[in-house]
Amino acid sequence: MGAILGWDVGGANIKAARIEDGRAEPLMCERPLPLWREPHRLPSVLAETAASLGGAETMAVTMTAELADCFATKREGVAAVLDAFTSAFPAIEPWVYGTDGRFRPAAVARQQPFRVAAANWMASATVVSRLFPDALLVDVGSTTADIIPIVGGRVVARGKTDPARLRSGELIYTGALRTPVCAVVRSVRLRGRRCRVAAEQFANLGDVHLWRGDIVASGYTCETPDGRGRTRLEAGARLARMVCADLEMIDALEISDIADHVARAQVEQIVAGLRQVMRRLGGRCPRVMVVAGQGAFIARAAGQAAGLDIQDLSDAIGAAAARAVPAAAVAYLLDAMLTPA
């Protein structure tokens, strides 16, 4: 069998993994694409991404892009993503992964939008379950965090759809880059007193983590809120604006107070989800937490706060694959399905 391309088509990023017989680690490629604004670019970005990895005749797809608000419904979003694959790769019918842990051809997937929407966490957890049969997988991406319990080698997530997962604590809509600061905190500490923040997307968590040194400029792969650059100073100016100030009004120490406050609050968001999942599992809850994603450092801090033993998925599958687990996961899973036992 030839190469397989695994795709995780998100609303803000396109991630692809290419595996070939005998290669333990996939080749990875990631491209930012603000789909809600430029849905028409999806076919060309898919084609370019595939070409940059060397292409493949067999493709495995998972997506969350159907949630982007350029699509009126998930049904429309799923159809549009699959249309983009047809347009980019007319000769290939991709296999689409679902929350039931199965692949179906694209033609069938179109009829099952609620099953193939937002199934990427299931692909990741299924692959991780073979390496860590008892673990909480915490994958913090640019935008969202998944907390998936694996017990006795089985994925025991309570929620299957996004709304159900937002209720169960298994999906926390917070991430390392795109999350608006105003979605994480209502107020910060400023000069020793509580200060409300602006309800504007003046700064995001990428600015917080860049300011604190937890990411570097090249890791700030999404657009900046104000269209300015990715230097620490520019991130600081954006953070100052969250309290309606600027760098003439507040200084670097005060910016650090703001950034630290927001970073702590974000870790608390993950901890709250972790505790909800742990409470539900009770005595059978794993004590091991496997961290992955661009925001693995956030997952790690949450796991430490919750008293879990941290394992880094990148030690098991390589840094590139651990950064974009679902893309690599669907490639591995399809390979396993298509390879004769």
Half-sphere exposure of 260 (CA within 13 A, CB side): 8
Structure tokens at 152: 């006795």
Nearest-Å Rg of the Cα atoms of the chain is 20
Residues in 7-36 that interact with a second copy by CB under 8 A: 36
State the Cα–Cα distance between residues 187 and 196, nearest whole angstrom. 4
Count Cβ atoms below 10 Å from residue 228 Cβ, excluding itself: 12
Which one of 59, 245, 277, 333 is in contact with a second copy (CB under 8 A)?
A: 245
Query: x/- string (CB under 8 A) for a second copy, residues 74-113?
Result: xx--------------------------------------
183 binds a second copy (CB under 8 A): yes
256 binds a second copy (CB under 8 A): no
161 binds a second copy (CB under 8 A): yes
Which one of 246, 251, 309, 315 is in contact with a second copy (CB under 8 A)?
A: 246
223 binds a second copy (CB under 8 A): no
Residues in 296-335 that interact with a second copy by CB under 8 A: none
Scored b (16 or more CB within 10 A) or e, 255-294 reads bebbbebbbebbbbbbbebbebbbeeeeeebbebbbbbbb
Is the Cβ of residue 254 or residue 335 nearer to a second copy in the bound state? 254
199 binds a second copy (CB under 8 A): yes
176 binds a second copy (CB under 8 A): no
**Total binding residues for a second copy by CB under 8 A?**
52
Torsion of CA 30, 33, 34, 36, to 10 degrees: -110
Residue 179 Cβ vs a second copy, minimum distance, rounded to whole Å: 5
SS3 at position 132? coil
Structure tokens at 45: 């970005």
State the Cα–Cα distance between residues 318 and 33, nearest whole angstrom. 25
Q: Which residues bind a second copy (CB under 8 A)?
A: 36, 67, 69-70, 72-75, 114, 118, 143, 161-163, 166-167, 169, 171-175, 179-180, 182-184, 190, 193-202, 225-226, 228, 237-238, 241, 243-250
